[in-house]
Amino acid sequence: MDTLLEIRNLHARIGEKEILKGIDLTVGRGEIHAVMGPNGAGKSTLNAVLTGRPDYEVTEGTVLYDGKDLLAMSPEERSCAGLFLSFQYPVEIPGVTITAFMKAAIQARRKAQGLEEMKTADFLKLLKQKMAFVQMKPEFSKREVNVGFSGGEKKRNEIFQMAMLDPVLSILDETDSGLDVDALKIVADGVKALHTPEKSAIIITHYQKLLEYVAPDVVHVLKDGRIVRTGGRELIDAIEKDGFDQF
Amino acid sequence: MGYGNYKDPFGGSPLGKASYVVQAGEKLELSFVVLPGESRDIEVSVDLVGEGAEAVLRGLYLCSGDEQVTFRILMHHRASHCCSRQLFNGLAGGRSRVSFDGRIIVAPDAQKTEAYQENHNIVLSDEAHVDTRPQLEIYADDVKCSHGATIGRLDEDAQFYMRSRGIPEAEAKVLQMLSFLSPVTPEEKRKQVERAVLLLV
């Protein structure tokens, strides 16, 4: 199997508090993984470390992405290398339209890949096509990023960006939003529609709801900063039945 | 993006003081663009004396060094059905000092007044200093008035969001600054503002 992401003995802390206490996790190309765990298990921290949030400190361990040292890369380098994070709470960027935002992102990516700038006409065509693909109304292209968006619109915008950027590894942080079923469905449909044998995804979630829509190949249980169990979909049922205390 | 009708009554000179009387049905438009390296001390007083008089004041400032930028604005609504809008947005970096003193007075006879004033600041360095004092004195009872002033920093969550989509940190900051300045950027100064912002990052 072709390995895309390899996390070895990952320790991380925020301030003085150690939250990840030795994570081991390997994601193969083409696989969809789920990371489930109770509140406080370290799900958000794992996601933050993988995407390069500045306030978390990695104290031990390695993360190889496509053979490269992921932790040495800036958030923008990670993105240009094909990593995508779907935010649990997408951020508002007042004054910046979705079109301007995506144009900057696409051009930055092309620059990083040594390609010349995409022509405006080609960019607008791509934008239109991907908006239609995620069933986003065309007028959203002129709206300021996430400003005044409903929860569902924000999620759709995340999946739209995922479609635009065409990532190799998507990390979907849905830790708390398990109760908003409509928003989850948008995410799940997007993940399924965009999935190909070359692409992988990690779904980080507290609830099993999302996993009813998109079936993971591998399920990990994260508890107290460690992966305590790895298995197949039967783990989802076990968690549904008896919760996280059994692990 | 941007607006037309750029009109700085002082032609960019460091010291400027002027009074305006706006008659019924007239509209006064003033705008200021203060680029890095420029210190300005601007004092403007506007009297809206005729029914339906209007005033629109816009200001943008970009400070990166030792500049001192001062605005003292007095907007006096003396007649009914007048409308005034003021929007001043600026970035303060380096060891610059910015002071905004804005006063709106609505006279007892100035019913149906609409008066708005906003001053928003983004501080880019620990040594920069911004003072903003919006004041509103209303003596009429049937009016729509608001004022708002903010002093903040570039939103780091928004920056991270952009970076996580592949946009380099410096470019993310430029996007944030330009969007913040966009409502107060006159079309004819846009290129200059863009160049100045690039140098601030």
Distance in angstroms (rounded) separating the CA atoms of residues B30 and B44: 10
Half-sphere exposure of B13 toward its Cβ, with a 13 Å CA cutoff? 8
Q: Are A58 and A49 in contact (CB under 8 A)?
A: yes
CB contact under 8 A, A92 and B160: no
- Structural domain boundaries of chain A? 3-242
CB contact under 8 A, A87 and B161: yes
Q: What's the pLDDT score for residue B54?
A: 98
- Which of A85-89, A183-187, B75-79 shows the highest mean pLDDT? B75-79
Distance in angstroms (rounded) separating the CA atoms of residues B68 and B66: 7
Q: Which residues of B touch A54 (CB under 8 A)?
A: 160
Strand, helix or coil for residue A113: coil
3-state DSSP helix/strand/coil percent for chain B, to nearest 5? 20, 50, 30
Distance in angstroms (rounded) separating the CA atoms of residues B162 and B169: 8
Distance in angstroms (rounded) separating the CA atoms of residues B160 and B167: 9
Question: B12: which 2 tokens?
Answer: 């960019």
Nearest to B158 among A54, A80, A91 (CB): A91
Task: Give me the residues paired with residue B73 across strands.
Answer: B44, B102
Distance in angstroms (rounded) separating the CA atoms of residues A175 and A203: 9
pLDDT in tens, chain B (201 residues): 568 888 899 988 999 999 999 999 999 999 999 999 999 999 999 999 999 999 999 999 999 999 999 999 999 999 999 999 999 999 999 999 999 999 999 999 999 999 999 999 999 999 999 999 999 999 999 999 999 999 999 999 999 999 999 999 999 999 999 999 999 999 999 999 999 999 888
- Which of A84-93, A181-190, B165-174 shows the highest mean pLDDT? B165-174
Q: What's the pLDDT score for residue A179?
A: 53
CB contact under 8 A, B163 and A161: no
The pLDDT tens digits of the residues spanning A36-60 come to 998 889 998 999 999 999 889 999 9
Q: Does B193 touch chain A (CB under 8 A)?
A: no
Interface ipTM > 0.90: yes
B156: which residues sit within 8 A by CB, 6+ positions away?
none
Q: Are B32 and B72 in contact (CB under 8 A)?
A: no
Q: Are B122 and B154 in contact (CB under 8 A)?
A: yes
Distance in angstroms (rounded) separating the CA atoms of residues B141 and B95: 43
Q: What's the pLDDT score for residue A173?
A: 86
Within A85-202, residue ranges assigned H as helices are: 98-112, 120-133, 151-165, 181-194
> How many C-beta atoms surround the C-beta of residue A172 within 10 A?
29
Question: B35: which 2 tokens?
Answer: 């680029």
Q: Are B110 and B145 in contact (CB under 8 A)?
A: no
Q: What's the pLDDT score for residue B4?
A: 80
For residue B155, give how far its alpha carbon lies from the nearest alpha carbon of chain A (Å). Answer: 9
Q: Does A157 touch chain B (CB under 8 A)?
A: no
Relative orientation angle of helices B156-163 and A98-112, to the nearest 10 degrees: 50
Question: B133: which 2 tokens?
Answer: 């004092």
CB contact under 8 A, B175 and A100: yes
Q: Does B160 touch chain A (CB under 8 A)?
A: yes
Q: The domain A3-242: what is its CATH number?
A: 3.40.50.300
Nearest to B175 among A53, A76, A104 (CB): A104
B173: which residues sit within 8 A by CB, 6+ positions away?
B154, B159, B201
CB contact under 8 A, A93 and B158: yes
A123: which residues sit within 8 A by CB, 6+ positions away?
A102, A103, A106
CB contact under 8 A, A76 and B160: no
